[in-house]
Amino acid sequence: MKNLVNAAGLIGQNRNPGVEGESSTKDITFPRPTLANSVAGLTNRSDQVFGIYARISAWGHEHTKSDAYSAAVIQVSNDQGAEYNAIRAGLHTLPSLYKDTKLHLRTGTGERAATTRTARGSCRSKTPTLGYPGMVVEALSSYNQTDSSMILQIVKDERPGIGGDWWLYRVAGPVRFPLGRWPASLFGSLSRHATEAAWYGAVGSARRGGAPPAMGSGHGPGEGYTRAAYFADISLMDRTAYPVYPSLGSVAAVASDERCYKVAMDAGGGNTFFYGGPVSRFCA
């Protein structure tokens, strides 16, 4: 899988090789150089992607240390060789940014370009009472008891006269609440469409020898609902913003460190997969 980047969503880069199947390095964003970074999830490549959707299980990470992070992310990206753009949103715990270990709604962008164009910090909130980047997610899942989740959608508005901006929505039942947008003018290749979608968990630590925190629920994906973290109803958006379920044959699973974090499709279908794993010294 290429370009699962900027997993922490902050400014600052560290060249870090190692995602399985990736021939080049990737940019990892963290307040300090990231010594440990792992991802686990699914990716889907296509000629034209206009959005991504998922129901993301919400798990807290109250034991995350100040120099670490744990995240669950949806992402669209476009890689045109010298130029790479990405937009992402999801849930994460990042004490160095928020000064707490609570779960927060996050947004971010990534880029690799010959120009000076930048899209960092560009999701502009429209409905702060319904949600906004940085908000605390209060409803959390608890092991073998409570299943809490949040539905997020990133979609490019292709209606005539709108301008083709990318929008972030929170979905509740039949209603979509716009949380903000990324103006198309901020991007190069991504101003037209995306070519890859990804749903993944990410963890990292900036301390040498420090083990990354738990990913997802902190339990392996084989434990299933109410025990393992998941992405459910994963889908792509076509040009009309209509959801299209990717066939399981068109998605690729990625686990950059299978000693610690794994991915498993839900045997019951529904375009759902489980992911994650516990804190382990083998991941440091």
pLDDT at 173 (0 to 100)? 86
Structure tokens at 59: 């798990």
- Give helix then strand counts, H and E, for the chain: 1, 17
Long-range contacts of 218-222 (CB under 8 A, 24+ apart): 218/59, 218/61, 218/276, 218/277, 218/278, 218/279, 219/143, 219/276, 219/277, 219/278, 220/262, 220/276, 220/277, 220/278, 221/262, 221/263, 221/264, 221/273, 221/274, 221/275, 221/276, 222/262, 222/264, 222/274
Kindly report the CA angle at 64 between 58 and 67, in degrees rounded to 5?
125
Q: How far apart are CA 75 and CA 134, in angstroms?
A: 17
Q: Write down the domain spans for the chain.
A: 13-283
How high is the pLDDT of residue 254?
Answer: 85
User: Is the sign of the CA dihedral 105, 110, 42, 209 positive or negative?
Assistant: negative
Residue 47 sits at the vertex; the CA angle it makes with 262 and 177, to the nearest 5 degrees, is: 70
> Model pTM greater than 0.75?
yes
Q: Which helix (H) or strand (E) holds 175?
A: strand 175-182
Q: How do the pLDDT tens digits run along the chain, 284 residues long?
A: 334 433 333 222 222 222 222 222 233 233 333 445 889 999 998 888 999 999 999 999 998 888 889 999 999 998 877 788 899 999 999 998 899 999 999 998 876 643 333 334 445 544 555 568 889 999 999 999 999 999 999 999 988 776 789 999 999 988 889 998 899 888 888 989 999 999 999 998 877 666 778 999 999 999 999 999 999 999 998 888 888 888 666 788 888 888 889 999 987 777 899 999 987 766 65
